[in-house]
Each structure stands twice: as structure tokens, then as C-alpha cells.
Amino acid sequence: MNIVFIMSDQQNKNALGKINPQYITPNLDRLANDGVLFKNAYTPSPVCLACRNCLMTGKFPSTTGIRRAKDRPRDQDIQLNALMKQSGYNTAYVGKYHLAGGGNGPIPDFAKKGIDQMMAYQCYNGFKPEPPFNNKVVYRDVDNIETHFDYHRTEVTTDLALNFIEDLSSKSDPLYIFLSKFYNGYPIKCILSHKFFLN
């Protein structure tokens, strides 16, 4: 069984057509109908890094000690990606990572355990017009080699995920992809051509 885990960062639960017809999200609605839709989910923390760490380790922030955005996850905590790899999956991570720091810095090796392929960034990416950023959309692969893109990071993340799905689905082992979308629900960041949510 192949698994594509989609996490849309900072999305209100009501911003889904299946829940609220005010929103037009045909692809997400189709995923909700054909996959799993969690209607009663609660975050273990309002802080991004603490919540993501909980999701990846299965441990509460009170256990891991990760409560603030600047806290660093412990090397010894086993992450979901490593468990999927141990279970025989080809693994990939695409999009916002934010498990080991902020900005566009390198992703530490301990945070990449069990990931075969990666195109990700730590946190903020692609919307700082002043130098040295100049609105660059920067992703890093599993070896921390930077790739720059000149279009919206939401579309970049979608394109990269589709490429990984095509590549990994051709292999004999099942695939597991963690797809982390950032700023899907903000009207000021919305793009009309967004393939994943609108087409």
C-alpha cells in the first residue's frame, strides 16, 4: 500500500469544500472522499515545531521537551520517516520541514533519518524581497544541496511531490511521501493556477 501523507500548514479546518461549501476545493474534497478525513483532530501544541515533532515521533511535547519554535528535537527520538523506511517503504519528504531550525538553513542529518529523497526547506521561504533573499524559493535535497526556483513555493512543492510519486511508484517497494504544504489558506498568498487544490 502506498501512502501520501498531506499536511497543509496553517489551514483552518473549515477551509475545505467538503466541510464548508463556501470553499471550492475539488481535489481536496476528492481526497477526503477517497482517503481518510479526520474531522475531530486536536493539536498537541499551538507551536509549529512542537506540533510537527509530536506528529513525527508520536510523543507529546511534555515528553520530548519541545515546546518552543527554537527548541531542537532530540537525536534519539525515532521519527515516522525512519519507521516507514524500516517497514520497507521508499520514502520522500517534500515541502516545509521545520523540525530542526528556522529560515533556509541546512537540515541536520539527524532530522533526515529514513528519508531516501527530499526537497524541503526549514521554515520561511520565498517571500522576503530584500537582499540577500530576493524572494528566492530555495529547497534542499537529502544532501543539503540547494535548488532555487522562480515560481511560487506552493506550486514548487506540488510539482516536486508529483515527480517523487512518479519516480518512487516505479520501484517494487511501496512508497511513503510526506507532503507538507505551506500557506494554503491565506488569500493574500493564493495563486489562481494552483494545480493541486483547484484543478
- The string of pLDDT tens digits covering residues 123-181 is 766 566 666 666 677 889 999 999 988 777 888 899 999 999 999 888 889 999 999 88
**Would you say 138 and 130 are in contact if contact means Cβ atoms under 8 Å apart?**
no
- Summarised one tens digit per residue, pLDDT across range 56-103 is 889 999 998 888 877 877 777 878 999 999 999 999 999 988 876 666
Contact at 8 Å (CB) between 177 and 1? no
- Centroid of chain to Cα 82: 16
DSSP secondary structure, 164-182, as one string? HHHHHHTSSS-EEEEEEE-
DSSP 106: P
Active site positions, annotated:
48, 98
Pairing of strands 3-8, 175-181: parallel
> The whole model's pTM is what?
0.82
